[in-house]
Structure 1
């Protein structure tokens, strides 16, 4: 392959956006919102419907992204995805992603009805290495279709508490992931359209701040995102 073809391949490689959060947080529904279609399997309750790390390619603003729907680490031994299995899958997934194209954005997906203090453990697992890896982390709050007076009010009410607990984000979006159903009220349809716009703008803005990983670079020359993350995960799971 000549240099020109190599550069063209490099330019079209999608940026990796990893969605994480506890079971039932709405990760799959958020992917369906971004994809503007019913492509990721969803569940109406807290039982996991994602048992592995599934990729979904999407174009936003003429740029390519690969959205990764991940299984949660919080189900325990009786869940669809036991903690040990989820951890093993996550390890293999992150190793491959880090050594190949890199990680460009982490989206922490949470339900709006969830108590803010309960969000800390999953946040720690991923965000504790962001300062070393320079991968931005954002929060997307789901299930806010009935939140009044506007969805963004959730952030206004909880931003300070998140900061006090040590949770800091590069950006946020407050959304509803309800399907685009014409039987819904005009207010819900407007909120869904606004949610799509806000999330897409968030991805575009934050991924533009993270350069592509250079092809052929020696990963030993930089502090590996994967290596640091795995150490943090092992420590947090042992102490939680």
Structure 2
């Protein structure tokens, strides 16, 4: 079974391939004409998407969040619900004032989230020397958060107005562009409140949830709070021991879920993964949904290489663009194979490229080249002139990437891979 350590090893292998691109290109099963190697390196190293992926893999780190909400709204419970286990909150550090504290949420020595917990809404003290706005400014300046989570209790309609007024004043004062996510908690307590299993929610309970979401969206619109997505969740979990907060760290680590009443946590995690800094997003995926992490990284790599391949056709080069495109696709295949944990040599990469889709190296996008089979792959005709357009280069590369994903990651048969490649090609042609 895939675990975080195994995936880290795979990601490190991909980074090493990228960092030693000269060596990788030299080992490809193709004969490159003069200048092709430098052109391949230029395309890969110059592609913004590929560069961001590699940087994200190298510099992956825990997400940094600022949580704003009333005391008791369920900040720690939300963290527990995301990871599905009781997460120890450690290392409280005051941030300039005793109204702000920074915590690391850890599990088995691994930091999962870094969180600044602000003073509760409507809990400012007259004795405080700073305002909530000043505190938040300080936190943003020192902490550089990936997102701000604004938590409000879905069952307290009257307080929702106050909460929105508060977050509006904070955002206006701070003037930040940091992603803001509004999270309505405790939806399990909406009527009928006796129903806690999310898969048993009645139509009336679902309607109440939808109504609450609409209420908050309208409030945010009315108060002109920009750039906020609204997600409603239940973080309700019963552990196998009572009062888990009173247990020792060792006992907390061994807690298991006795009753799971969580709702909509996947949507919340999806938002975070798609809106956080990529370095933080990778770390979050690896600690919450590791199988999805493999596929998401794979999809990003495929798309990045497909985009990179379009420059082959639009950049004038003094030799056949096929001499650049085929090695790019071979490197893509090797990246996907390494991500799956497979050990792939140059001959097996060549064999896959020739057999993908049953029609040869560039499949559906480059039928003319495919008809030449192995001769074309060995690039015996450099200088043949432009053979591909940007659209065909993208389509062919994307299809081959999807085929490699299906074969190496999803363990599909070659027949299934052929169908997937056809569908991928049709998908790109339709865009």
TM-score range, shorter chain: 0.5 to 0.7
Q: Which residue of 1 aligns with 2:79?
A: 31
Q: Residue 106 of structure 1: CA displacement?
A: 0.8
Contact 1:139 1:172 in 2 (8 A): yes
Instruction: Summarize the alignment of residues 19-168 of structure 1 with structure 2, pairs less than 5 Å apart.
Output: 19-39=67-87, 52-57=100-105, 65-72=113-120, 74-77=122-125, 83-84=128-129, 87=132, 90=136, 92-97=138-143, 102-112=144-154, 113-115=156-158, 116-128=160-172, 133-147=176-190, 148-150=204-206, 151-168=209-226
Instruction: Give, in whole Å, the separation in 2 of the partners of 1:143 and 1:164.
Output: 24
| Post-superposition CA distance 1:128-158 (Å, at most 9, x none) | 267x542111100011103242234411244
Contact 1:75 1:83 in 2 (8 A): no
Change (3 A) 1:128 1:40: farther
2:274 to 188, 198, 205: 205
Q: Residue 174 of structure 1: CA displacement?
A: 0.3
DSSP 3-state at the match of 1:95: helix
Number of positions where the alignment pairs a residue of Structure 1 with one of Structure 2: 181
Change (3 A) 1:29 1:122: farther
Instruction: Give, in whole Å, the separation in 2 of the partners of 1:144 and 1:128.
Output: 29
Contact 1:110 1:141 in 2 (8 A): yes
Q: Residue 172 of structure 1: CA displacement?
A: 1.9
Change (3 A) 1:76 1:133: closer
Change (3 A) 1:121 1:156: closer
Contact 1:25 1:111 in 2 (8 A): yes
| Post-superposition CA distance 1:39-96 (Å, at most 9, x none) | 367xxxxxxxx9642333579xxxx653333332531438xxx644675765654332
Q: Residue 198 of structure 1: CA displacement?
A: 2.1
Structure 1 or 2: more helix by fraction: 2
| Post-superposition CA distance 1:165-187 (Å, at most 9, x none) | 223343221011222458xxxxx
Instruction: Give, in whole Å, the separation in 2 of the partners of 1:122 and 1:176.
Output: 23
The two structures, once aligned, show a CA RMSD in angstroms of 3.8
DSSP 3-state at the match of 1:22: coil
Q: Which residue of 2 aligns with 1:14?
A: 62
Instruction: Give, in whole Å, the separation in 2 of the partners of 1:11 and 1:171.
Output: 27
Instruction: Give, in whole Å, the separation in 2 of the partners of 1:140 and 1:157.
Output: 13
Q: Which residue of 2 aligns with 1:179?
A: 237
Q: Residue 119 of structure 1: CA displacement?
A: 1.7
Q: Residue 208 of structure 1: CA displacement?
A: 4.9
Change (3 A) 1:204 1:57: farther
